[in-house]
Amino acid sequence: MITRSRILKLHPATLVLLSFLLAIGVGTLLLKMPFSTHTGHIPWVDALFTATSAVCVTGLIVVDTGSYFTGFGQGVILTLIQLGGLGVMTFAVMLFQWIGRSISFRQRMAIQDLFAHTPREDILGLVVHILVLTFTVEAVGALLLTVHWGRELPFLQALYTAVFHSVSAFCNAGFSLYSDSMMQYSNDILLNLTMCGLIVCGGFGFPVLYDLRQWFGVHKQGRARLSIQTKTVLLTSLILIVLGALMFAFLERQSLKASTSILHCVLAPVFQSITCRTAGFNTVDIGSLKEATLAMMIFLMFFGASPGSCGGGVKTTTLALITMFTWTRVKRRQRVNIFKKSIPQETVTRSLSLVLSSTGIISLILFLILVGVAVSGPDGAERQGFFLAYFFETVSAFGTVGLSMGVTPDLNTWGKCLIILMMIIGRVGVLTFSYIILGTGTAKGIEHAEENMMIG
């Protein structure tokens, strides 16, 4: 029998995973209710897929959100997005505080693993700050988006649409009430800038936003010092956004030239560069992009957002670390230094392990999806040339991005289940899964005599 004492003894990594699985299970049951859909029925696998995509803030869909689900169903999805974006444990801590229950040590550790890069004692203060910051940014975003949609919709409908997309954008979920996402608004500067701002804020990570708030604040002791993580996240994100936009503009220059709008030529590359990191909204048809552009987007989706954020991927700090590690080894130096600080060797090793294990998991899931396609009969035979589309889909699920080349609704049950697993792994984290499966203990192992071997 599962008791509260047994739950509190679980490792924080296991506690985080179980909280997400619980939210997915409840969300699946609610979406399965007859009043959640206009048809009164949704297959179990589709309900599970949608709930997982919402909790894991991915945005991949097998049915159209705006037309298939009723207002209640859309409300369930919106709630799951908010829960998944902030982490179920965040709300659990606030609930325990509200009802006067103490917060266990393991719950504190689970929150710290999600949102803090250094040990903290004021976990409750951190959670309160996260919630206040989140709702403030989402409210500002909803206000700006209400101004946008207020020009074409009744006020209440405009407000509802604005709130839905503001929460979805800040949580980097990518769910939209429009079947073409944001393609019809590719020339609207207010919507593009607001959505991009929300996505970037949600992708920075709460530790970075907290540091920035402290840095901009006025203190008697002077301006607070930005942490190495904040500096690395800001610089890496800026480089990825700028290079991604320039590459998109160069690779898709012919289609951009065909556009009669100058705003579209400027906004589209920037929006796609930002959104393909973790958000999943799009203002262009993804399926019509060139293969080189899709390859570049796969790279951005793989690394994704930053630690402690609403997004997935192996994170921007990992990209920065392996880049500096490579540069350090090329220059034959031992320590990896960033901003005049030395990074612990264990952190560098973990970043390399994360990239390798993530690549292996993506390759395995992609292979299993292709196996399911190959044995599914005539429909599978027609899909044999869609390797890039399934590869794009798999990386999008891992990075909790939500962009798709249009193959998501055509996935069979086997493929949907694999993508569901991929979304959960991407949201919870590869290292967290390894802790759950292999444990956190470390062993030196048997040490034998050394013998060199050739590499490269």
Per-residue pLDDT tens listing for the chain (456 residues): 455 555 556 566 677 788 889 899 999 999 999 999 999 999 999 999 999 999 998 989 999 999 999 999 999 999 999 988 877 556 555 554 554 445 554 555 555 555 555 555 566 667 777 888 889 999 999 999 999 999 999 999 999 999 999 999 999 998 999 998 999 998 999 999 999 999 999 888 888 888 888 777 655 565 678 888 899 999 999 999 999 999 999 999 988 888 767 888 899 999 999 998 888 899 999 988 999 999 999 999 999 888 878 788 899 999 999 999 999 988 888 888 888 888 888 888 888 988 999 999 999 999 999 888 877 754 544 555 578 999 999 999 999 998 998 888 888 899 999 999 999 998 887 776 666 565 555 555 677 777 778 666
Is the whole model's pTM more than 0.85, yes or no? yes
CA 441 to each of CA 11, 141, 175, 438: distance values in angstroms, whole numbers, following the listed order: 12, 44, 39, 8
The tokens for 232 are 């690395």
Closest CA to 203 of 233, 231, 176: 233
Closest CA to 295 of 169, 392, 415: 392
Q: How far apart are CA 446 and CA 456, in angstroms?
A: 26
Q: How far apart are CA 362 and CA 312, in angstroms?
A: 14
pLDDT score of 144: 96
Cβ neighbours of residue 334 closer than 8 Å, sequence gap 6 or more: 328
- A 10 A CB-CB count for 127 gives 24
- Kindly report the CA angle at 244 between 181 and 64, in degrees rounded to 5? 15
**Domain segments of the chain: what residues?**
4-327+329-438
The tokens for 398 are 């891992």
pLDDT score of 117: 52
Classify the C-alpha dihedral 395-397-398-399 as positive or negative.
positive
Closest CA to 400 of 416, 418, 424, 417: 424
**The three-state (H, E, C) secondary structure of the chain, written as one string:** CCCHHHHHCCCHHHHHHHHHHHHHHHHHHHHHCHHHECCCCCCHHHHHHHHHHHHCCCCCCCCCHHHHECHHHHHHHHHHHHHHHHCHHHHHHHHHHHCCCCCCHHHHHHHHHHHCCCCCCCHHHHHHHHHHHHHHHHHHHHHHHHHHHCCCCCHHHHHHHHHHHHHHHHCCCCCCCCCCCCHHHCCCHHHHHHHHHHHHHHHHCHHHHHHHHHHHCCCCCCCCCCCHHHHHHHHHHHHHHHHHHHHHHHHCHHHHHCCCCHHHHHHHHHHHHHHHHHCCCCCCCHHHCCHHHHHHHHHHHHHCCCCCCCCCCCCHHHHHHHHHHHHHHHCCCCCCEECCEECCHHHHHHHHHHHHHHHHHHHHHHHHHHHHHHCCCHHHHHCCCCHHHHHHHHHHHHCCCCCCCCCHHHCCHHHHHHHHHHHHHHHHCHHHHHHHHHCCCCCCCCCCCCCCCCCC
Residue 351 CA to its chain's centroid (Å): 18
Q: Are 110 and 16 in contact (CB under 8 A)?
A: yes
pLDDT score of 193: 95
Q: How far apart are CA 26 and CA 3, in angstroms?
A: 19
On the CB side of 154, CA atoms within 13 Å amount to 2
* Backbone Cα Rg of the chain: 22
pLDDT score of 278: 83
Q: Are 311 and 57 in contact (CB under 8 A)?
A: yes
Classify the C-alpha dihedral 84-88-93-98 as positive or negative.
positive
pLDDT score of 111: 54
